[in-house]
A and B are shown apart, each in its own frame.
Chain A
């Protein structure tokens, strides 16, 4: 069985699971359609929130971005996780306490105003559409790469699949689909990370491997710093790229943005109590943190691995273009 068939089988199976779950847990009434009946366990809700929120950006591009940016990539790590602290302390429990279906409903009750409700709806649509544009780009890239079709066609296929299970399952179906997605996503993400960490540092836990030593006894991060400064790049662990001022406000805006994401806030309406809403935010961040503390390890290790593959100081010149692994060329096309 070649790689292509295997990919089809695995990806096909995961989508069959998602659609199957959506059908099994399909919404039967309004309550289930909007807030999944309001009785999702906080841990399950945390897992669904994590899958819901860790989108194309976290899964596909973040490690690459950090590999490219080095220390400067920290704005995404801190910004996208720190927002959950704001969400858990300032928003989620109070919205849950109110007991509404949607954020605009809360706004209109709290401020006794239909106008405020309309404004909230407009803001929500703007935020969601902007967000979905990014996600759709990710879906397009992933599907065109995996089906080996054009970007546009890949996008259409992906959209159709998501549409089917979202409309059929409502919030209840989505909750259970997302739990399955989280499990699949985290396995897919951590297995390569565990292997690369084990190969490079002998420690299977990437979070420790990143601070660990290589075969020659030098620390991985020190080695990486040294190799890339030799090649004329700036040091990986200190290169901020942005000024302190910019970094500060970049992180702040990412945090506030994360805390305000409509599809994340929405998830806290599905738990049974305020108490559950509080702990659920914590569980969401636990599940997110598993990926978010692995990503910097993947980033640094992949960069080290990539550079040592191409850059061969012992030989006359670097690895020739034609000798480079085939996945280089495959990805060049997708972009």
Chain B
């Protein structure tokens, strides 16, 4: 307490420290939030990617083959048709969502 300059009342100093700390937190959260959202989006997409190809197309193929999709056995359909359609959808979904995240955190400008 004694070390503080007398022209600065205690509350002003505390306020200033808090302000700087707040800005720091906001910036950090902003940055981390971007990566957090990006990574959780990637994980979400990769789970679907894994389930439709390795899950439905390979591991569970025999049990899915008991279900029919027109002339297709469902497991066979996933391995030779369905997984590919879902891959395409996944990439566009990721691109769409990432653009939203970019806009939310204002990172679009510095990429150009």
Stretch in contact with the other chain, from A167-175, A185-193, A278-286, A305-313: A278-286
> Which chain A positions have C-beta within 8 A of B88?
282, 285-286, 289
Answer whether residue A37 sits at the interface, using C-beta atoms and an 8 A cutoff.
no
Docked Cα-Cα span, A82 to B65, in Å, equals 21
Chain B residue nearest to A220 (CB atoms) is B71
A127 within 8 A of B: no
Q: How far is the CA of A274 from the CA of B88 in the complex (A)?
A: 18
Give the residue among A71, A89, A252, A275 with the most B Cβ atoms within 10 A: A89
Minimum CB–CB distance from B106 to chain A (whole Å) comes to 14
A247-B58, A275-B99, A285-B88 given; A89·B42 CB < 8 A? yes
| Also in contact, A221 and B42, with CB within 8 A (given A81-B83, A82-B87, A282-B91) | no
- Stretch of A129-137, A211-219, A316-324 at the chain-chain interface: A211-219
User: Once the chains bind, are A74 and B108 in contact (CB under 8 Å)?
Assistant: no
Known: A74-B79, A77-B80, A237-B65. A84 touches B91 (CB 8 A): yes
Main secondary structure of the interface of B (DSSP, over half): helix
Interface residue B18 (Cβ < 8 Å from any Cβ of A): no
Q: Find out whether the CB atom of A85 lies under 8 angstroms from the CB atom of B45.
A: yes
Give CA–CA (A240, B108) in the complex, Å. 46
B40 CB to nearest A CB, Å: 12
Cα distance A84–B91 in the bound complex, in angstroms: 8
Chain A's interface size range is 35 or more
Distance A290 CA – B53 CA, assembled complex (angstroms) = 18
Q: Is B34 an interface residue (CB 8 A)?
A: no
Residue of A nearest to B97 (CB): A278
A78-B53 in contact given A85-B90, A211-B71, A237-B65 (Cβ < 8 Å): yes
A211–B72 contact, CB under 8 A? yes
Contacts of B76 in A (CB 8 A): 71, 74, 221, 237-238
A90 contacts B by Cβ under 8 Å? yes
Residues 246-289 of A, flagged 1 when their CB comes within 8 A of B and 0 if not, give 01100110000000000000000000111100110110011001
Task: State whether A293 and B71 are in contact (beta carbons under 8 Å apart), knowing that A77-B80, A279-B95 are contacts in the complex.
Answer: no
- Taking each of B61, B73, B76, B91, which has the highest tally of chain A beta carbons within 10 Å of its own beta carbon? B91
Interchain CB contact under 8 A, A278 and B94: yes
Shortest Cβ gap from A242 to chain B (Å):
10
In the complex, what residues of A have CB within 8 A of residue B112's CB? 272-273
Offer 28 A-B interface pairs, CB within 8 angstroms, sorted by A: A66-B80, A71-B61, A71-B80, A74-B76, A77-B79, A77-B80, A78-B57, A78-B58, A78-B79, A85-B49, A97-B111, A210-B81, A211-B70, A212-B71, A244-B58, A247-B58, A251-B58, A272-B112, A275-B108, A278-B99, A282-B88, A282-B91, A285-B91, A289-B87, A293-B80, A293-B81, A293-B85, A296-B81
In the complex, given contacts A86-B49, A237-B65, A279-B95, what are 9 additional A-B residue pairs having Cβ atoms less than 8 angstroms apart?
Answer: A78-B58, A210-B71, A211-B70, A238-B62, A238-B76, A248-B58, A252-B54, A278-B91, A285-B87
Residues of B within 8 A of A (CB): 42, 45-46, 49, 53-54, 57-59, 61-62, 65, 69-73, 76-77, 79-81, 83-85, 87-88, 90-92, 94-95, 98-99, 102, 108, 111-112
